[in-house]
Amino acid sequence: MKPIRKLAFVINEEKSGAHEVARALMAVARRAGVTLKQTKRYPLPRGYLDGCDACCVIGGDGTLLGVARESARSGVPLIGVNRGSLGFLTTFSAEEARTHFAALLQGNFIVHQRTMLSCSAANGSHDLALNDVLIKDEINSRLVHLEVFADGELVTGYTCDGLIFSTPTGSTAYNLSAGGPLIHPDAAVIAMTPICPHTLSNRAIIFREGVQLRIFNRTGNSRLLVAMDGQRNLKVGLDSPVDISIAKHRLALAQSPDYSHFSVVRAKLKWSGALGERQHSHH
């Protein structure tokens, strides 16, 4: 990638050590003559990243989700630095960032385009999600009756605790806990996974990239909560449709040139049995 000349920092001060890491990385950037701006506020205000070459997020995956929408809108790549181990989205540990930051600023990183979901409700509200859109009853414990259409064709009606619409990036988040599939980030698809469905044969469904999904609330006198990345909510009344599709915006996520998706998955999900990681105990 081209060298970074103007860089924004978003720092989650609640993460221990975030401040120190930020200070160290900013010092490296200043020495390299990079113009800096920084904030502790996220979600970011509209237009905050305009004119920046990249945005360095110091925190965890949740912090990065709070910046993703604005980053996608402005086309500014995100460099996620995790204040702990490796994250799924914050793909640089603090140590890696410290070691390689000068090289990063020189453009020594690759950018991976991640699909996002576009979600709109009948009241005109619209939002983007990098991980998932969750649709459930506004009051936690109630069952919902939801009817799903794909490109105008009825898929089915669900009686469940909710539906999760996930991107490949979000497939390792709530979707995974609800029994949904893991999806490689290059597959531009949407996974729809019901939460605790009453019909046990209800399984996750994978939809193609161009699909237009429409969800109707068929639950008597209740409002739906539509949660974007678990952070921002829309409220939807009875028979008011929610539309979900793959957004025209992508999120540019910076990764080191030797980044391996499955090595992160193996580490984060604590999968064992990978070749070379096995203990050769049986002879």
Is 282 inside a domain boundary? no
Structure-token pair, residue 68? 């993703």
Q: Looking at the 3D structure of the chain, how many domains does it have?
A: 2
Q: Identify the pLDDT of residue 281.
A: 43
Q: What is the dihedral of CA 41, 47, 49, 51, to 10 degrees?
A: -150
Residues in CB range of 145: below 8 A, 6 or more apart: 157, 158, 159, 217, 218, 219
Same domain? For 235 and 128 the reply is yes
Same domain? For 59 and 166 the reply is no
What are the average pLDDT values for consecutive 10-residue runs of the chain, which has 283 residues? 96 93 97 97 92 96 94 96 83 92 96 97 88 92 92 97 97 96 97 94 95 93 91 82 97 93 90 58 44
Is 129 inside a domain boundary? yes
Is 145 inside a domain boundary? yes
Q: Identify the pLDDT of residue 280.
A: 41
* Cα–Cα dist 83/72, whole Å: 23
The DSSP H or E segment spanning 262 is helix 261-268
Q: Identify the pLDDT of residue 273.
A: 64
The catalytic site residues sit at 61
Q: Identify the pLDDT of residue 282.
A: 46
Q: Identify the pLDDT of residue 122.
A: 79
Is 148 inside a domain boundary? yes
Same domain? For 102 and 127 the reply is no
Q: Identify the pLDDT of residue 125.
A: 84
Could you give the 3-state DSSP secondary structure of residue 226?
A: strand
- CA 170 to chain CA centroid, Å, is 5
Quote the domain boundaries for residue 51. Answer: 6-109+256-268
Q: Comparing C-alpha atoms, which of 231, 250, 253, 261 is closest to residue 57? A: 253
Q: Identify the pLDDT of residue 235.
A: 81
Query: What CATH number does the domain containing 263 carry?
Result: 3.40.50.10330
Q: Comparing C-alpha atoms, which of 205, 76, 226, 84 is closest to residue 149? A: 205
